[in-house]
Amino acid sequence: MSHPSSHELLGRYAGVPVCLEARLDHRRFSIRDLMALRPGAVLRLHRAVGEPLELRVGGTLLGFGEVVAGERSAGVRITSWER
């Protein structure tokens, strides 16, 4: 009895919807500091301008992308996939 390849296993789930997250950065705040934030506050991030976004599904890093501007909204151009 042969075992299915990982590609065959993934193919079985190809139609399952997942939530793709394009993560710019994340920060930890105390509740006090979070409650002190007001409109117009600027949150400092750990990433530099132009650094790639992380593309994640279920918290797992799948690849990277960059922000692009569209006519009416922003988008993400995929730059690489993790192996």
Predicted pLDDT at 27: 86
Query: Residue 83 pLDDT more than 80?
Result: no
Q: Which residue has the tokens 């949150």?
A: 43
Q: pLDDT tens digits, residue range 8-32?
A: 767 788 889 999 999 988 888 999 9
Q: Looking at the chain, how many residues does it have? A: 83
Rounded to an integer, what distance in angstroms lies between the CA atom of residue 51 and that of residue 54? 10
Radius of gyration of the chain (CA): 18
Single pTM value for the model: 0.69
Predicted pLDDT at 21: 94
- Please tell me the least confidently modeled range out of 9-13, 30-34, 47-51, 75-79: 9-13
Opening angle at CA 69, ends 65 and 73, nearest 5? 105
Q: How far apart are the first and last CA of the chain?
A: 28
Q: Which fold has domain 18-81?
A: Surface presentation of antigens (SPOA) (2.30.330)
